Amino acid sequence: MRITRGNEARRRDFMQAVQHEHREVVEAIAARDPAAARHHATRHILSGEQRLVEGGVIPAQRRTRSTKEKP
């Protein structure tokens, strides 16, 4: 949490994106739509990783498919 908050503190657009993503997840949960909640939560995690890369906090990496995922 400390790392991501520090990254957001340096870029206002990052903070705004995180707040928007959180709102989407909460709204999907409130609507009792688990598929939408899962979609928005997954997109939030992936977007967060990209923000950390853009902020220079972590190196860009090629994501590989988990062995649990189906092709």
Residue 31 · residue 19 · CB < 8 Å: no
What is the widest separation between alpha-carbon atoms in the chain?
Answer: 38
The model carries a pTM of 0.72
> pLDDT value at position 10?
77
More reliable by pLDDT, 69 or 57: 57
pLDDT confidence tier of residue 44, bands split at 50, 70 and 90: very high
Please report which residue ranges of the chain form alpha helices under DSSP H.
2-10, 12-30, 34-54
> pLDDT value at position 65?
54
For residue range 5-42, what is the model confidence (pLDDT) as tens digits? 666 767 788 889 999 999 999 999 999 999 999 999 99
Residue 1 has pLDDT above 70, yes or no: no
The 10 Å CB-count burial string (b at 16+, else e) for 42-68 is: eebeeebbebbeebeeeeeeeeeeeee
